[in-house]
Amino acid sequence: MSYNLLKGKRGIIFGALDENSIAWKTAERVHEEGGTFVLSNAPIAMRMGSIKDLAEKTNSEIIAADATNIEDLEKLVDQATEILGGKIDFVLHSIGMSINVRKGRHYTDQNYDWTHKGMDVSAMSFHKVMQVLKKKEAMNEWGSIVALTYMAAQRVFPDYNDMADNKAYLESIARSFGYFFGKDNKVRVNTISQSPTPTTAGKGVKGFDAFINYADKMSPLGNATALECADYTISLFSDLTKKVTLQNLYHDGGFSNVGVSQDVIEKFE
Partners of residue 14 on adjacent β-strands: 40, 93
**Residues of the chain scoring pLDDT < 50:** none
Q: Supply the pLDDT for residue 199.
A: 77
pLDDT in the model for residue 204: 62
Can you give the C-alpha Rg of the chain in angstroms? 18
Three-class DSSP category at 267: helix
- Give me the residues paired with residue 37 across strands: 11
**Amino acid in the structure at residue 48:** M
Q: Which DSSP symbol is given to 238?
A: S
Parallel, antiparallel or unpaired: strands 36-41 and 188-194: unpaired
The secondary element (H helix, E strand) that includes residue 208 is helix 208-218
Round to whole Å and give the CA distance between 84 and 184.
24
User: Residue 61 phi/psi, 5° resolution?
Assistant: -100, 155
Asked if 177 contacts 217 with a C-beta cutoff of 8 angstroms, the reply is no
Q: How far is CA 240 from the centre of its chain?
A: 20
Supply the pLDDT for residue 35: 98
Query: In angstroms, rounded to a whole number, what is the distance separating the alpha carbons of residues 191 and 154?
Result: 13
Q: Are 157 and 111 in contact, with CB atoms under 8 Å apart?
A: no
